[in-house]
């Protein structure tokens, strides 16, 4: 019997994704973002999160998906992983749900155009929804960020 995990559910396009609640600091509405020059295009800049400057990345851009205009539903999910605190721009963040760790299956090679290494697996919720679980440490991989910067240059 696996353990119950609480996850925040958010959407990018048609697909629904999940991040463990304990990795999420807050979910914010879209706010003014200050552009930081000479960063990869998916790094949208930095925001003022109650006195702390936090970098924000567009998760669509990070996964190589087409970026879209922000809407009223757009949210910034502030995640905390190790020393890193980063905001993810997502299309919408709808609710919190429970999944059982037994119900997480390894991902197929490509899900919705996202490389498998960014994913932890596919989880089935009690209601029968399918959630794509993110592999945060890989999404926030800094080495890759540096490589991308070099490609830019």
Residue 9 near residue 96, CB atoms below 8 Å: yes
* Angstrom distances, CA of residue 68 to CA of 65, 90, 92, 117, 133: 9, 10, 12, 24, 22
Residue 39 binds another protein, judged by CB under 8 A:
yes
Binding-site member from 14, 37, 66, 106 for another protein (CB under 8 A): 37
Stretch binding another protein (CB under 8 A), from 1-9, 19-27, 41-49, 127-135 = 41-49
Residues 77-116 binding another protein (CB under 8 A) are 83-86
**Using CA atoms in the order 40, 119, 125, 71, what is the torsion angle rounded to 10 degrees?**
10
CB of 65 to another protein, least distance (A): 20
- CA-nearest of 66, 78, 65 to 31 is 78
Q: Which is nearer to another protein, 32 or 128 (CB)?
A: 32
User: Residue numbers of the site for another protein (CB under 8 A)?
Assistant: 32, 34-39, 43, 45-48, 51-55, 83-86, 140, 142, 145-146
């Amino acid at each position: 019997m696996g353990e119950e995990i609480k996850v925040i559910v958010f959407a990018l396009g048609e697909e629904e994704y999940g991040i463990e609640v304990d990795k999420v600091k807050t979910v914010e509405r879209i706010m003014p973002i200050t552009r930081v020059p000479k960063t990869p295009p998916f790094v949208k800049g930095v925001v003022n999160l109650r006195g702390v400057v936090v970098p924000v990345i567009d998760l669509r851009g990070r996964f190589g998906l087409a970026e879209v205009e922000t809407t009223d539903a757009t949210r910034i999910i502030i995640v905390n992983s190790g020393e890193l605190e980063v905001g993810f721009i997502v299309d919408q963040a709808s609710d919190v749900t429970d999944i059982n760790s037994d119900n997480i299956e390894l991902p197929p090679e490509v899900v919705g155009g996202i490389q498998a290494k960014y994913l932890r697996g596919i989880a089935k919720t009690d209601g029968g929804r399918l959630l794509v679980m993110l592999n945060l440490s890989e999404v926030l991989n800094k080495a890759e960020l540096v490589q991308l910067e070099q490609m830019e240059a």
